[in-house]
Amino acid sequence: MNGADSLLATLEHNGVTTCFANPGTSEMHFVAALDGTPGVRGILGLFEGAVTGAADGYARMTDEPAATLLHLGPGMANGLSNLHNALRAHSPVVNVIGDHASYHRALDAPLTSDIEGTARPFSHWVRTSIDEQALSHDVADAVTVARRGQVASLILPADAAWNDLSAPPAPSTAQPAPLPVVDAPVAEAAARALLDAGSRGAILMGGRTPRADALAAAGRIAQATGASVFTGTFAPRVTRGAGRFAAQKLPYSVDEAQQVLAQFDTIVLVGAKPPVAFFAYPTKRSRLEAPGTHLIELTPETTRADLPLQAVLDSLPQAARAKAAEAKPVDLELPQRPTGPITPEKLGVFLAEAIPENAIVVDESITTGRTFPEATQNARPHDWFNPTGGSIGWALPVATGASIACPDRTVIALESDGSGLYMPQTLWTQAREGVRVVSLILANRKYQILRNEMTNVGVEVVGETAATLLDLDRPVVDWVSVSRGFGVPAESVETMEDLAAAYDRALAADGPALIEVVL
């Protein structure tokens, strides 16, 4: 048994069954060891951002880590954009980054770099294994960290991978994910504050908390106290649709969010930080809640919230609890599919009817999709992903990982054309693995969000030179050819009728499909 065998045996022993990989020479012993580790599935991505994004999507659905395999510092650097998103989403991820052999590093070969320094801002935990004997223990530590909802990065020197172990140990065992901690005094304080605030109280849910049980508990608290329930603008995964309690989504717009939160004197933060603007603007406050608002932090971002919210509910007086025997779920309301030219508003209505039951929706629709969450509130039950870290080029990789995690569920990727161009290589992995992903490329052929932001920062006139950096024409990207080139069937549509027909064909297909939706 060599070090790579020990590493993979430890991953398998601890239930890490999937490794998204883009290997290089220094990782060849890891790749060879996969043949002897049938419990770990290796999945190739053509670009490291596709690898790290897929690991994020896998983790959001399983709450368990996948592994990534990255090649040296530059390979990791290629994957940092989506590692940032995973870090912000508190997705459990175990990165394995190959490095030069320990004796080779001092020679300063061309690919030598400070991998620990590269990894540290995008990881909660970083370690370089000192030798092959340490690998099993190091891997178990990495899995333990990841199970807390964190990103762990383990650097694997090539000689630690290829050297044989003098005394092969049994694989080390990682610690299980910690259970949610209920702070009774905080739960009691939150209950009192919400009861006193009445309709001027709110619950803001983020992190790993907006799941069915926690949302139902929050809904019961809202019924008992008169409070409102919100999810953060970019909550990683929200359980929603018919039969579930519907929380409101905090608006992205600074002005709109501040107007909404100005109604509340008390906000209980459940897996959420105090809400802030995505960017700073010259004439606007960065904090979104009104000055003087009483904020109570019930749970951190990394833990489930069903038990802490139940503790808040149990802390309410019996008379208040009697008002909330059960959170009122939303009813199923399927509108007629709209017809005519495609508009963002019609797309929202279309999705409300078209989302399949138990689907996973990965939303990077940016400006086109501002109305989608409200429009789809009464759709069939589904999970909805948001780009928590804001680093774009995220939806196609994350949709791929979510489908690998849940192969029996349909995944709908709502991808703006500008963002999709960051990592279209992911389509090749979709084709190879045969995942059930339907990608809707929302093609307005411009960076519309940046045009909006020009106004927000005070630029009244966008000149000809500036416009060349905001538009995606000259030439127009041919998404159908791009997709087919990577092996994914594709078509382009310009009317709602054509979209409906193409979408139905995509759902019936045995594998991925892409539809360019021209706006």
Q: Are residues 13 and 139 in the same domain?
A: yes
> Domain with 235 in it: what CATH number?
3.40.50.1220
Q: Same domain for 357 and 463?
A: yes
Helix (H, G, I), strand (E, B) or coil at 436: coil
- The 3-state DSSP class for residue 340 equals coil
The pLDDT value recorded for residue 390 is: 95
Identify the CA nearest to 187 among candidates 320, 323, 327, 305: 305
- Assigned token pair, 324: 């909330």
Judgement on whether residues 148 and 30 belong to the same structural domain of the protein: yes
CATH of the domain at 367: 3.40.50.970
Co-location of 281 and 141 in the same domain: no
Give per-10-residue mean pLDDT for the chain (519 aa).
Answer: 98 98 98 98 99 99 98 98 98 99 97 98 98 98 98 99 92 93 94 98 96 95 97 98 97 96 98 96 96 96 87 94 84 98 98 99 96 98 98 98 99 97 98 99 83 81 84 90 99 99 98 98
DSSP 218-256: HHHHHHHH--EEEE-TT-SEEEESTTS--PEEPPSSHHH
Report the SS3 class of residue 12: helix
120 token code pair: 């540290």
Confirm if 373 and 63 have CB atoms less than 8 A apart: no
CA 198 vs CA 192, 194, 260, 276: distances in Å: 10, 6, 16, 24
Q: What is the pLDDT of residue 468?
A: 83
Strands 125-128 and 237-240 come out as: unpaired
Output the pLDDT for position 5.
Answer: 98
pLDDT score of 469: 86
Could you give the angle at which helices 48-62 and 72-89 cross, rounded to 10 degrees?
Answer: 30
Does 372 share its domain with 480? yes
Residues 306 and 364 in one domain: no
pLDDT of residue 309: 95
| Structure tokens, 232 | 């953060």
Number of domains, the chain: 3
Query: C-alpha dihedral over 272, 278, 280, 281, to 10 degrees?
Result: -130
Domain extent at residue 354: 344-518
349 and 496 housed in the same domain: yes
Closest listed residue to residue 444, CA positions, set 393, 392, 519:
519
Report pLDDT for 304.
81
Q: Considering Cα of 151, then 152, then 158, then 164, what sign does the dihedral take? A: negative
Residues 508 and 457 in one domain: yes
Burial 176-206 (b: 16+ CB within 10 A, else e): ebeebebeeebbebbbbbbbebeebbbbbbb
Residues 354 and 502 in one domain: yes
Residue 393 · residue 366 · CB < 8 Å: no
SS (H, E, C) 67-132: EEEEEHHHHHHHHHHHHHHHHHHCCCEEEEEEECCCCCHHHCCCCCCCHHHHHHHHCCEEEECCCH
| 144 and 46 within one domain | yes
Q: Is residue 211 part of a domain?
A: yes
CA atoms within 13 A on the CB side of 30: 34
Residue 381 in any domain: the answer is yes
Tokens, residue 511:
């594998």
- Claim to verify: residue 349 and residue 464 sit in the same structural domain: yes
Q: Do 349 and 298 share a structural domain?
A: no
